[in-house]
Amino acid sequence: MRNSAWNDLLTLIDSEKLGYHPVGFIIDSPWIPGWYGISAIDYYSSDELWLNSNLQVVNAFPDIWFMPGFWSEYGMCTEPSAFGSRMIFLENNLPHAEKILSDISDTERLPQPNVKTDGLLPFMINRLKRNYSEIRNADHEIRFAVSRGPLNVASFLMGTTELMTALVLEPERSHLLLRKITQFICDWLEWQKECFPSIDGVLILDDIIGFVGEAEFIEFVLPYFKKIFSVTDTRAKFLHNDSEGLITARYLKEMGVNIFNFSFNHSLGEIGKLTDNEIVLVGNIPPRDVMSAGTPEDVITAVRKAHGETSHHGNIVWSVGGGMPPGVKNENIRAFIKAANELK
């Protein structure tokens, strides 16, 4: 993130007012390559194109908080690659990782990855190291250690339906799988922070936690996320879950989360009430139907509508309810900035 944006984010976390309405987006490979005019495979395989496209984004929109900023990633293949998943890379689409567990009973043979050597993880770290000087010269820093969450990774390794079934029918083996993945995530976050001491934030992305009921959330989500968000002792603890998020919202403080990006299906007021307006909220207009497919006028209308759905505006980073989707054009981004600047 840009240093000034990072400092202002910490101000929000400390429940202090900024005096303006910040605009921020989670950006990564679903959006940047198409916006920059290159293929997905070029974005993943070329350090130069990765750096230049990210630099062009932050220079084109200097007032936007891009989070986590200069995200070194390989889409959904990132974490599963460390466990040995076969990775499928396509020219102009997101890559995907094939399942490696045919049944929850296969968990016993699942290796515990070495985050310094396994899968794509060394390439991610090395990409940041090779480009670190250019990132800092642009007045940015590596501020966040990033990982998908344990249920999200588990769904890649064995399939979402299979995971949901296992949570009900094989709870002990499910806990074994989640413990292995959680330890991997903790190791991965700690290694990122060790490589880049400027890191003082954690971003965890997990949509699968929105697929379970409250009892299952308490058993299979809460203890593992508490461990993950406490392992690096960072100031910014950012959770992305743009599936069903009402149960998640009620437990954010217990999980240790202080920044939440959630589904546009939930209003800012609804999530604010569930969190006692003590969490920094990142949202909350529809990413695909408005930000990508809508007109600038649609974007402005949606921002104003979201503003009217809450009376607490001092803890909001104005954004979309999820990550930046493919196909978002400059005119819609500028319309979003204009709308946010005009909010009272």
Instruction: Decide: 95 and 141 in contact? Cβ < 8 Å.
Output: no
Q: Which domains does the chain have, with CATH numbers?
A: 3-341 (3.20.20.210)
Query: Is the backbone peptide bond immediately before 197 cis, with ω within 30 degrees of 0?
Result: no
Q: Tokens representing 150?
A: 């344990």
Cα-flanking dihedrals φ and ψ of residue 6, to 5°? -60, -45
pLDDT at 93: 84
Report CA torsion sign: 137, 20, 321, 336: negative
What does DSSP say about strands 65-67 and 316-320: parallel, antiparallel, or unpaired? Answer: unpaired
Cα torsion for 122, 125, 126, 132, to the nearest 10°? 180
Residue-level pLDDT, tens digit, the chain, 344 residues: 999 999 999 999 999 999 999 999 999 999 999 999 999 999 999 999 999 999 999 999 999 999 999 999 999 999 999 999 999 998 888 999 999 999 999 999 999 999 999 999 999 999 999 999 999 999 999 999 999 999 999 999 999 999 999 999 999 999 999 999 999 999 999 999 999 999 999 999 999 999 999 999 999 999 999 999 999 999 999 999 999 999 999 999 999 999 999 999 999 999 999 999 999 999 999 999 999 999 999 999 999 999 999 999 999 999 999 999 999 999 999 999 999 999 98
Query: Is the backbone peptide bond immediately before 284 cis, with ω within 30 degrees of 0?
Result: yes
How far CA 25 is from CA of 63, 189, 225, in Å, comes to: 11, 22, 23
Q: Tokens representing 56?
A: 């062009």
pLDDT at 136: 97
pLDDT at 92: 83
Query: Is the backbone peptide bond immediately before 131 cis, with ω within 30 degrees of 0?
Result: no
Q: Any idea how long the chain is?
A: 344
**What gap in Å lies between CA 115 and CA 9, rounded to an integer?**
29
Report CA torsion sign: 221, 271, 267, 25: negative
